[in-house]
Amino acid sequence: MSEHVGIQDKNIELNPDGKITAANADEFRQELLELVESGILQITINLNNVDMIDSKGLAVFIVCHKTLAAKGGSLTVISDNEELCNLFHLMRFDEHFAVVKSE
């Protein structure tokens, strides 16, 4: 469901679009876990084209973070959407992985 905009060594940047919600969260989770399984250790998810994430979508981010951290990797989330950045803050995700507000 995401456009892969770049793969370098063990890093990848993903550009999902639309919504990350209960209707597609399982698909997104599978995509991320397959990347980690393939050896990717640094995942950057650019949410500039995402306008909504619900509780099921949020769970995917914490699963991805936990899976990467267990392998010594890390997750970074980028968004220019103040509401989404605040949502990640309310869920205290920014205490555990990087949530970057882009211009």
Q: Nearest approach, Cβ of 55 to other proteins (angstroms)?
A: 4
Q: Which residues contact 9 (CB under 8 A, 6 or more apart)?
A: none
| Residues near other proteins (CB under 8 A), total | 21
Residue 86: CB atoms within 10 A of its CB come to 13
Strand segments (E) across 9-85: 11-16, 18-20, 42-46, 50-53, 74-79
Positions 33 through 62 that interact with other proteins (CB under 8 A): 52, 54-56, 58-59, 62
Comparison of 12 and 64: residue with beta carbon closer to other proteins? 64
Binding range to other proteins, per CB under 8 A, among 3-11, 17-25, 31-39, 41-49: 17-25
